[in-house]
């Protein structure tokens, strides 16, 4: 028997294929099972029009046998088989896909769902084996043939005994090396887990003998180990079923098992889309954030299936960062996969799917917000920060997508509110949306600046997360209303007369105010009288775009360029302390300077900042007592 050579370019390709196309050696099993499934699809398809096939759908089956002693894995199918020529053509020429040809010939029939398309998958067998035989008998042929090859040196095809139609592929597994554990592929649990991982939704049963232990009849407490032929795959993908046939329980079980969560999801999104690109999507919004969600280790992404076969475990391109918490999968027969089926060839279809999913997720979250407020708030507690980051990231690219999904605590009832709810409650004369930043709701509630705004009957949004203010800055306005930080921006609630009086007062006491500023030092850029305070004597405000909160957040980042907010000490012009300062400045400059420092330190404490020199502060207060 003359050994035939692989075509020269094929040799090179084969070598490349075995050594570099696939990143995971374990996918050889997925490829061979997909081929077997294709072969059975072809014969099943034939049986619909040809009575001589004599097989029903339930007769088709893939069997895997492991032989540890002889180091072989055997994969048997009762599909359409290959003739001598087909063995030559399909397995002797790389990149010749019989399946792709079959697909083209049967393009109009939507029942055929063939997985193979490149004619290289079979060769992945050589990643784990040093010798491969393919015994096959084609439907309608009387004689079987066996193709065999030991790697890339060449192959032989010769007649063989084969009673039934179909194909038996036997892989002789390579010996393990220091770098690679090939022995693992001879372990039943490994093979069954690989089938579960990649081929769970192959539509024919994949069977293998597995050892199980069972009680011995008649002998109490004794167990025996027996071999049982088990079906390893679940066959019907949940997402292919009709929504009306799936119970909540089934969805929940699928989610908790597949995505390792102990709680059912907050929301299930199951959709079938047909059009420019056809796909099924089954998405889940978790109730709580995984422990690593807000760390660098968290990997976003959806599982990507092509016709029920897993292609990628975490396809990041399918999810925008703002929805990185979504779990689930997409299954599409339309994807143009690259040769290893590990990555996608063109990302056009993927982009299209991602765009649709983004819209879908948003509308489902909006529905939840509208109809299941409590569930939404629970969800928001877990993932709200991610949505807010999403608004701010990439120069606010996603701000319009997200602006109606974010919530902030409102001063009125200390409950979460949307921006649109805030706007709907705005007073007739109110032009802006007011907000304040701080560590906690209670601390913000006590800010001196809040009094005047609340007195007017205006609501204030209380921002407690670091990202909050950046998120509003990115949004710039909502429904035409600008945002005003009550500690940083001009409140614009005083009348013209009030403004004028204040201006005159500041002018009149310019010397005093300059003196106070000099006494405090670098901590402030100016000291001024204000009419916006009610009971508090003084407060700190910032000017020039960077608020004190932003300064704190930005400077906490690893960055050498430290930023400084321009802080102004504002003194309540109606407070007795203002009068006191005005008179004391004439008589006792030293004491006036001490008062300035105390007022400044107190204002820092109230706005949630530490006192710069606690020892000096304590001494100054002590002096007052003596």
Q: Are 315 and 303 in contact (CB under 8 A)?
A: yes
Q: Are 135 and 144 in contact (CB under 8 A)?
A: yes
Q: Which is nearer to ligand ADP, 97 or 417 (CB)?
A: 97
Binding segment toward ligand ADP, per CB under 6 A, in 96-104, 234-242, 491-499, 555-563: 96-104
Q: Does the protein bind ligand ADP through residue 73 (CB under 6 A)?
A: no
Q: How far is the CB of 307 from ligand ADP (least distance, A)?
A: 12
Question: Mapping DSSP to helix (H, G, I), strand (E, B) and coil, where does residue 267 land?
Answer: strand
Q: How far is the CB of 193 from ligand ADP (least distance, A)?
A: 22
Q: How far is the CB of 118 from ligand ADP (least distance, A)?
A: 4
Q: Which is nearer to ligand ADP, 345 or 363 (CB)?
A: 345
Binding segment toward ligand ADP, per CB under 6 A, in 110-118, 302-310, 424-432, 553-561: 110-118
Site string for ligand ADP, 14-33 (x = CB under 6 A): -----------------x--
Closest by CA to 36, choosing from 141, 160, 168, is: 168
Total chain residues near ligand ADP (CB under 6 A): 23
Q: How far is the CB of 299 from ligand ADP (least distance, A)?
A: 29
Q: Does the protein bind ligand ADP through residue 55 (CB under 6 A)?
A: no
Nearest-angstrom CA–CA distance, 250 and 232? 19
101's CB contacts (< 8 A; 6+ apart) are none
Q: Are 36 and 62 in contact (CB under 8 A)?
A: yes
Q: Which is nearer to ligand ADP, 118 or 182 (CB)?
A: 118
Q: Which is nearer to ligand ADP, 169 or 463 (CB)?
A: 169
108's CB contacts (< 8 A; 6+ apart) are none
Out of 29, 33, 36, 520, point to the residue binding ligand ADP (CB under 6 A). 36
Out of 13, 17, 27, 39, point to the residue binding ligand ADP (CB under 6 A). 39
DSSP code string of 297-354: T----EEEEETTEEEEEEEGGGS-GGGTT-EEEEE-S---B-TTSSSBS-SHHHHHHH
Burial class of residue 27 (count of CB atoms within 10 Å of its CB; 0-12, 13-18, 19+): buried
Q: How far is the CB of 153 from ligand ADP (least distance, A)?
A: 18
Q: Does the protein bind ligand ADP through residue 537 (CB under 6 A)?
A: no
Closest by CA to 340, choosing from 8, 34, 5, 6, is: 34
Nearest-angstrom CA–CA distance, 199 and 38? 13
Q: Angle between the 510-520 and 589-606 helix axes, to the nearest 10 degrees?
A: 70
Q: Does the protein bind ligand ADP through residue 125 (CB under 6 A)?
A: no
Q: Are 475 and 393 in contact (CB under 8 A)?
A: no
Q: Does the protein bind ligand ADP through residue 62 (CB under 6 A)?
A: no
Q: How far is the CB of 36 from ligand ADP (least distance, A)?
A: 5
Out of 121, 286, 384, 448, point to the residue binding ligand ADP (CB under 6 A). 121
Q: Are 437 and 549 in contact (CB under 8 A)?
A: yes
Q: How far is the CB of 96 from ligand ADP (least distance, A)?
A: 7
Instruction: Count CB atoms within 10 A of the CB of residue 177.
Output: 8
Q: Which is nearer to ligand ADP, 97 or 411 (CB)?
A: 97
Q: Are 569 and 516 in contact (CB under 8 A)?
A: yes
Q: How far is the CB of 310 from ligand ADP (least distance, A)?
A: 16
Q: Does the protein bind ligand ADP through residue 144 (CB under 6 A)?
A: no
Q: How far is the CB of 55 from ligand ADP (least distance, A)?
A: 15
Q: Which is nearer to ligand ADP, 6 or 122 (CB)?
A: 122
Q: Does the protein bind ligand ADP through residue 116 (CB under 6 A)?
A: yes
- The CB-side HSE value for 161 (13 A sphere, CA atoms) comes to 0
Q: How far is the CB of 115 from ligand ADP (least distance, A)?
A: 7
Q: Does the protein bind ligand ADP through residue 35 (CB under 6 A)?
A: yes
Q: Does the protein bind ligand ADP through residue 278 (CB under 6 A)?
A: no
Nearest-angstrom CA–CA distance, 414 and 461? 9
Q: Does the protein bind ligand ADP through residue 41 (CB under 6 A)?
A: no
Nearest-angstrom CA–CA distance, 102 and 571? 84
Q: How far is the CB of 3 from ligand ADP (least distance, A)?
A: 20
Q: Does the protein bind ligand ADP through residue 90 (CB under 6 A)?
A: yes
Read off φ and ψ for residue 266, nearest 5 degrees. -75, -30
Binding segment toward ligand ADP, per CB under 6 A, in 114-122, 186-194, 424-432, 517-525: 114-122
Residues 216-275 that bind ligand ADP (CB under 6 A): none
End-to-end CA distance of the chain: 114
What tokens were used for 199? 């081929």
Q: Which is nearer to ligand ADP, 120 or 474 (CB)?
A: 120
Q: Which is nearer to ligand ADP, 78 or 602 (CB)?
A: 78
Closest by CA to 125, choosing from 233, 196, 208, 26, is: 26
Out of 26, 41, 77, 570, point to the residue binding ligand ADP (CB under 6 A). 77
Q: Tell me which DSSP letter residue 21 carries.
A: I
Question: Mapping DSSP to helix (H, G, I), strand (E, B) and coil, where does residue 393 land?
Answer: helix
Q: Which is nearer to ligand ADP, 31 or 505 (CB)?
A: 31
- The CB-side HSE value for 412 (13 A sphere, CA atoms) comes to 12
Instruction: Count CB atoms within 10 A of the CB of residue 459.
Output: 21
Binding segment toward ligand ADP, per CB under 6 A, in 75-83, 183-191, 306-314, 479-487: 75-83
Residues 462-501 that bind ligand ADP (CB under 6 A): none
Site string for ligand ADP, 147-176 (x = CB under 6 A): --------------------x---------
Q: How far is the CB of 75 from ligand ADP (least distance, A)?
A: 8
Site string for ligand ADP, 359-398 (x = CB under 6 A): ----------------------------------------
Instruction: Count CB atoms within 10 A of the CB of residue 161.
Output: 9
463's CB contacts (< 8 A; 6+ apart) are 408, 435, 436, 437, 438, 444, 469, 472, 549
Q: Does the protein bind ligand ADP through residue 342 (CB under 6 A)?
A: no
Q: How far is the CB of 95 from ligand ADP (least distance, A)?
A: 8
Residues in the site for ligand ADP, rule: CB under 6 A?
31, 35-36, 39, 77, 79-82, 90-91, 97-100, 116-122, 167
């Amino acid at each position: 028997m003359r050994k035939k050579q692989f075509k020269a370019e094929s040799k090179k390709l084969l070598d490349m294929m075995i050594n570099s196309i696939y990143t995971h050696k374990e996918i050889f099993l997925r490829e061979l099972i997909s081929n077997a499934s294709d072969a059975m699809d072809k014969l099943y398809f034939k049986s619909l029009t040809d009575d001589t096939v004599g097989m029903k759908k339930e007769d088709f089956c893939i069997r895997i046998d492991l032989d540890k002693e002889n180091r072989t894995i055997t994969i048997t199918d009762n599909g359409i088989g290959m003739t001598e020529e087909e063995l030559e053509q399909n397995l002797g020429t790389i990149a010749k896909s019989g399946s792709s040809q079959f697909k083209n010939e049967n393009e109009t029939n939507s029942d055929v769902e063939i997985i193979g398309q490149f004619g290289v998958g079979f060769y992945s067998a050589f990643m784990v084996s040093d010798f491969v035989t393919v015994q096959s008998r084609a439907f309608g042929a009387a004689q079987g043939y066996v193709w065999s090859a030991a790697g890339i040196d060449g192959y032989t095809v010769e007649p063989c005994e084969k009673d039934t139609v179909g194909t038996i592929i036997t892989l002789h597994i390579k010996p393990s090396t220091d770098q690679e554990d090939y022995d693992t592929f001879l372990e039943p649990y490994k093979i069954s887990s690989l089938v579960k991982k990649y081929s769970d939704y192959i539509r024919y049963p994949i069977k293998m003998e597995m050892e199980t232990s069972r009680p011995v009849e008649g002998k109490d407490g004794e167990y025996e180990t027996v071999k049982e032929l088990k079906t390893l795959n679940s066959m019907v993908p949940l997402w292919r079923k009709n929504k009306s046939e799936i119970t909540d329980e089934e969805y929940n079980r699928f989610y908790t098992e597949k995505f390792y969560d102990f709680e059912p999801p907050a929301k299930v999104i199951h959709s079938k889309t047909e059009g420019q690109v056809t796909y099924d999507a089954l998405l889940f919004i978790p109730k709580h954030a995984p422990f690593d969600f807000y760390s660098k280790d968290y990997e976003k992404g959806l599982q990507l299936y092509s016709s029920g076969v897993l292609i990628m475990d975490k396809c990041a391109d399918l999810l925008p960062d703002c929805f990185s918490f979504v779990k689930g999968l997409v299954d599409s027969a339309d994807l143009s996969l690259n040769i290893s089926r590990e990555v996608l060839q063109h990302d056009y279809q993927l982009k299209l799917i991602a765009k649709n999913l983004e819209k879908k997720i948003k509308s489902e979250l909006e529905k939840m917000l509208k109809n299941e407020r409590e569930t939404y708030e629970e969800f928001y507690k877990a993932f709200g920060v991610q949505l807010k980051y999403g608004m701010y990231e990439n120069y606010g690219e996603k701000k319009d997508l997200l602006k109606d999904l974010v919530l902030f605590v409102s001063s009125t009832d200390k409950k979460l509110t949307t921006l649109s709810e805030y706007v709907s409650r705005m007073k007739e004369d109110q032009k802006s949306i007011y907000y304040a930043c701080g560590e906690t709701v209670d601390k913000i509630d006590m800010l001196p600046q809040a009094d005047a705004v609340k007195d007017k009957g205006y609501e204030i949004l209380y921002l407690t997360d670091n990202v909050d203010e950046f998120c509003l800055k990115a949004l710039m306005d909502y429904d035409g209303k600008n945002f005003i930080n009550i500690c940083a921006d001009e409140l614009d609630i005083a009348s013209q007369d009030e403004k004028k009086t204040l201006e005159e007062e500041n002018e009149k006491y310019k010397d005093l105010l300059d003196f106070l500023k000099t006494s405090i030092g670098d901590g402030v850029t100016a000291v001024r009288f204000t009419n916006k305070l009610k009971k508090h004597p003084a407060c700190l405000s910032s000017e020039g775009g960077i608020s004190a909160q932003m300064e704190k957040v930005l400077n906490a980042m690893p960055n050498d360029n430290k930023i400084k907010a321009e802080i102004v000490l504002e003194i309540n012009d109606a407070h007795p302390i203002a009068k006191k300062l005005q008179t004391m400045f004439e008589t006792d400059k030293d004491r006036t300077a001490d008062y300035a420092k105390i007022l400044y330190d107190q204002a820092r404490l109230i706005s949630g900042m530490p006192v710069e020199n606690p020892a000096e502060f304590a001494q100054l207060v002590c002096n007052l007592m003596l």
